[in-house]
Amino acid sequence: MIVKDELLSKLRRYFDLNLYEVKLWAALLSRGVSTAGELSDIADVPRSRSYDVLESLEKKGFVVMKLGKPIKYIAIPPTEVVDRVKKNMHANAMEKVKRLDSIKTSPLLVELENLHTNGISLVDPSELSGCLRGRNNIYNHLDLLIKDAKSSINIMTTDKGFMRKVEGLRANLEIAKKKGVKIKISAPLTKENKKIADSLKSVAEVKHNDKIKSRFITVDSNDLVFMMLNDTEVHPSYDLGVWVKTPYFASAMDQMFNHAWGLK
């Protein structure tokens, strides 16, 4: 049996299996029912590993062990496997979320916070900078900074970036607003995003800007995140941001922001 590497790679990604597991599962699907030895030969998996791997697939709901000797394995229909994997992944995810939630009220979090606080106090402020690779990582860091905002948040972005930020950051922007944080957003307003801008009136001041093309956020004139690339020319996975904690540079960017804010 020859299975393309591309198919094996997809199976590993979608079903969260290792290489031996996808090889044996694909081999069993092609046979319907088979022994561990036969599957080992077909899939080119060492016999010494085949029983362990098949046992793992059985526990995950991919195969059923047939009673009798020699021991044989029966393939579960792929549609049923998808449902089982989905159910198991959901259960595992909920268990992990529950475990993480329990940490919030445990002494472990206090220990972790103490470690971080003591560590940060030893760091020169100029060292607090970092490269954020991928749009998800950028937005996760923006979320963190917005949560800690105390006085101001200034956002300059593109028309599409404006819609993304409202979608991804709105919840914490609303919380920041309730804490008294002043939020300003400067972006090109179009027919496509005008309704979104109107819906944000109770949260932030939004102004049209198509004269200065830039993507950056300042928080409390202390933290600055600026994006290095044009978001219309880069895939989200390759988007690149730089975070720096520097009142000097952040204040300068606030001045640039306020200048653009006053332009008509």
**8 Å CB contact between 221 and 145:** no
End-to-end C-alpha distance for the chain, whole angstroms: 68
The CATH code for residues 5-90 is 1.10.10.10
Fold match flag (5-90 vs 127-262): no
Q: Report d(CA 24, CA 29) in Å as an integer.
A: 9
* Amino acid residing at 112: L
The strand order across the sheet containing 63-66 reads 33-35, 72-75, 63-66
Residue by residue, pLDDT tens for the chain (264 residues) are 556 788 888 889 889 899 999 999 999 999 889 999 999 999 989 999 999 999 999 988 899 988 778 889 998 888 898 988 888 888 888 998 888 888 888 887 777 777 766 655 555 555 556 889 999 999 999 999 999 999 999 999 999 999 999 999 999 999 999 999 999 999 999 988 989 999 999 999 999 988 888 999 999 999 999 999 999 899 999 999 999 888 888 999 999 899 888 765
Can you name the CATH fold of 127-262?
Endonuclease; Chain A (3.30.870)
**Which strand ranges, in their side-by-side order, compose the sheet holding 205-208?**
129-133, 240-245, 223-227, 216-219, 152-156, 182-187, 205-208
Asked if 93 and 54 count as a contact pair (C-beta separation under 8 A), the reply is no
Helix or strand or coil: residue 151?
A: coil
**What residue segments make up the domains of the chain, in order of their start?**
5-90, 127-262
